[in-house]
Amino acid sequence: MDIYHGSIVYSKSKDELAQFTDSYIAVENGVVEGIYPVLPEKFAGAAVTDFGNGVIIPAFSDLHVHAPQYPQRGIAMDALLYDWLHGYTFPLESKYADPEFAKTVYDAFVDDMIAHGTMHAVVFGTIHSEATGYLIERMENAGLHAYVGKVNMDMESPDYLCETAEDSLRLTEEFLERYMGNRTAKPILTPRFAPTCTFELMKGLGKLGQKYQVGVQTHLVESRWEAEESVRLYPECGCDTGIYEHAGLLGNGPVVGAHFIFPKEDDIRILKKYGGYAVQCPDSTLNIIAGIMQTGTLMDRGVNLGFGSDIAGGANLGVYSQVSRSVQLSKLKEFYEPDGNRTISFAEAFWIGTKHSGELFGKVGSLERGYQFDALVIDGLADPFHELTPAELVERFCYLGETGHIRARYLAGREI
C-alpha cells in the first residue's frame, strides 16, 4: 500500500470538481483504494509520501498528436493548412524513412510528453512502418496507454510521401499483426484524411478494421477546404464522416476524429452513432485553421469530446494548456456567434481533458476508487498573500502552468 498526503482534485462529474485539502490517497497495486481526511487505523505503519500543499490530480490524455512533427513545433505558424502541410510538414515526415532519425525524435517526444503530464495518447506516426513500430514499442515499454497508427496516404501527396493502396494495406496489416497483442500501446488505423486517401484504400482499411476489430483515427471536417474537398471527392457519401462509415471503418473500435470544426448534421449523427470522439485542438485551431469547434453545443448534444495538442499544428505538448484555451475559445465563439453557442466552464474543460477522454483507454483519468493511479502533483502556484482552494490552484495551473510546476508524476502507481 502506498499513501500520499496533500490536496486532491479530480472530476466527480461532467461539471463538478471534487476537492480535498490535507487528505490521504491510498494506492494499492497501482490502483486508487480510497481518499481519507484522516489516515485509517488499517494503514498505520504504511509509509506516507507527504506533498504538503501540493495538489494531486489525474494525468491528462492527448487525443490527437503527431509524434513525427515534434521537431516542427513553433515553426511556419503563419501558414494555413494546405501550404503548411506541403511546404513544411510533408518534407519533414519523409525523413522518417530513416529509422535512426525516427529513434532520436521519438525518444525525445515520449520523454517530453511525460514531462508535460500526459500519460495517455492517440498518436499519428508516418507512413513508415519501422519508424512507427519503434514509436509504439517505446510507448508500450513505458507503460503508457496509447493508440498509435501507421499513417495511410495514397493520393494527392508528394511522390516522396505517397504509397500505393496495395503497399499501404499490406504494411498496415503487418503492423496490426505485430502489435495487436500489446498491453497498453495498441495499434489504430490512421488514414490521414479523406483528401489523401483513395476509396480503394479506405475500403481496404475498413476490411482490416473489421477483421482485427481495431478502431480509426483521422482528421474530420477540419477546415472548410477539407470538408468541401472530401464531399467533392466522395459525393455519394454525403459528408466527411460518411466516407468512413461507407468504407466500414466505424464500429470496430475507438473512433477519433480530430478538429470536427465544420460538421454537417450528418457528421454529428454518424459520429454519435459510433460513440466517436471529436477532438478539439485549441492551439492548432489558432495557428493553422480558421475556425472554432462548437464545444458546448456538441457536449450538450452528447458527442464525446477530447483535447489534442496536435503537435505541430499546436506548439505546446501540455494538454493542461489546451484545457484553458478551450474555455477561451468557447467564449470567443459565443461572443462572435451567440446563436447556439455557449461558454464552457473550467470544470467541464478539465473533465474533457482527464476523466472523459480517459474513458477511451480504460479506468484512467480520475482519482476515484478503482482508477489506475496515473497522477501528477502540482506545486509552486500558491500566493503568499491570499489562500486559493485546490480547485483554484488547478485552474491556475491550466492557465499559467509549466512543466516545472509538476513536482511528481505517477504511472500505474510508479513514480516516473
Residues of the shown chain interacting with ligand GUN in the complex, contacts defined by CB under 6 A: 66, 81, 85, 89, 192-193, 219, 222, 284, 310, 313
Which one of ligand GUN, Fe ion, none interacts with residue 85, CB within 5 to 8 A by kind? ligand GUN
DSSP string covering 15-77: TEEEEEEEEEEEEETTEEEEEESS--GGGTTS-EEEEEEEEEEEPEEEEEEEGGGGGGTTSST
Which one of ligand GUN, Fe ion, none interacts with residue 268, CB within 5 to 8 A by kind? none
> Interface with Fe ion includes 374 (CB under 5 A)?
no
Report the residue number, 32 or 102, with the smaller CB distance to ligand GUN. 102
- Do residues 218 and 245 touch, judged by C-beta distance below 8 A? no
Report the residue number, 25 or 278, with the smaller CB distance to ligand GUN. 278
Candidate ranges 154-162, 232-240, 305-313, 365-373; the one touching Fe ion (CB under 5 A): 305-313
Which one of ligand GUN, Fe ion, none interacts with residue 191, CB within 5 to 8 A by kind? none
> Interface with Fe ion includes 226 (CB under 5 A)?
no
Burial class (CB in 10 A: 0-12, 13-18, 19+), 74: exposed
- Do residues 216 and 189 touch, judged by C-beta distance below 8 A? yes
Which one of ligand GUN, Fe ion, none interacts with residue 5, CB within 5 to 8 A by kind? none
Task: Tell which residue, 173, 165, 144, has the closest CA to residue 411.
Answer: 144
Give the alpha-carbon dihedral of 232, 235, 238, 241, to 10 degrees: -60
CA atoms within 13 A on the CB side of 241: 27
Rounded to a whole number of angstroms, the minimum distance from the CB of residue 42 to ligand GUN is 50
- Do residues 169 and 102 touch, judged by C-beta distance below 8 A? no
- Do residues 406 and 59 touch, judged by C-beta distance below 8 A? no
Report the residue number, 85 or 202, with the smaller CB distance to ligand GUN. 85
> Interface with Fe ion includes 93 (CB under 5 A)?
no
Report the residue number, 154 or 310, with the smaller CB distance to Fe ion. 310
> Interface with Fe ion includes 310 (CB under 5 A)?
yes
> Interface with Fe ion includes 62 (CB under 5 A)?
no
Sign of CA dihedral 195, 196, 199, 204: negative
Rounded to a whole number of angstroms, the minimum distance from the CB of residue 412 to Fe ion is 28
Which one of ligand GUN, Fe ion, none interacts with residue 192, CB within 5 to 8 A by kind? ligand GUN
Task: Tell which residue, 349, 366, 296, 398, has the closest CA to residue 14.
Answer: 349
What does the block give as the cell for 366? 480520475
- Do residues 94 and 127 touch, judged by C-beta distance below 8 A? no
Report the residue number, 271 or 381, with the smaller CB distance to Fe ion. 271
Rounded to a whole number of angstroms, the minimum distance from the CB of residue 106 to ligand GUN is 16
Sign of CA dihedral 339, 345, 346, 350: negative
Rounded to a whole number of angstroms, the minimum distance from the CB of residue 111 to ligand GUN is 22
Candidate ranges 54-62, 179-187, 303-311, 345-353; the one touching Fe ion (CB under 5 A): 303-311
Rounded to a whole number of angstroms, the minimum distance from the CB of residue 93 to ligand GUN is 8
Rounded to a whole number of angstroms, the minimum distance from the CB of residue 162 to ligand GUN is 13
Report the residue number, 19 or 196, with the smaller CB distance to ligand GUN. 196
**Closest residue to ligand GUN in the complex (CB):** 313
- Do residues 25 and 18 touch, judged by C-beta distance below 8 A? no
**What whole-number distance in Å separates Cα of residue 137 and Cα of residue 131?**
10
Which one of ligand GUN, Fe ion, none interacts with residue 89, CB within 5 to 8 A by kind? ligand GUN
**Alpha carbon of residue 177 to chain centroid:** 24
Report the residue number, 56 or 256, with the smaller CB distance to Fe ion. 256
- Do residues 281 and 319 touch, judged by C-beta distance below 8 A? no
Rg, C-alpha atoms of the chain? 21
Rounded to a whole number of angstroms, the minimum distance from the CB of residue 402 to ligand GUN is 24
Q: What CA–CA distances, in Å, run from 366 to 60, 276, 307?
A: 10, 21, 16
- Do residues 216 and 244 touch, judged by C-beta distance below 8 A? yes
Report the residue number, 278 or 394, with the smaller CB distance to Fe ion. 278
Rounded to a whole number of angstroms, the minimum distance from the CB of residue 312 to ligand GUN is 8
Rounded to a whole number of angstroms, the minimum distance from the CB of residue 172 to ligand GUN is 17
Which one of Fe ion, ligand GUN, none interacts with residue 375, CB within 5 to 8 A by kind? none
Report the residue number, 6 or 306, with the smaller CB distance to ligand GUN. 306
Contact positions vs Fe ion (CB under 5 A): 310
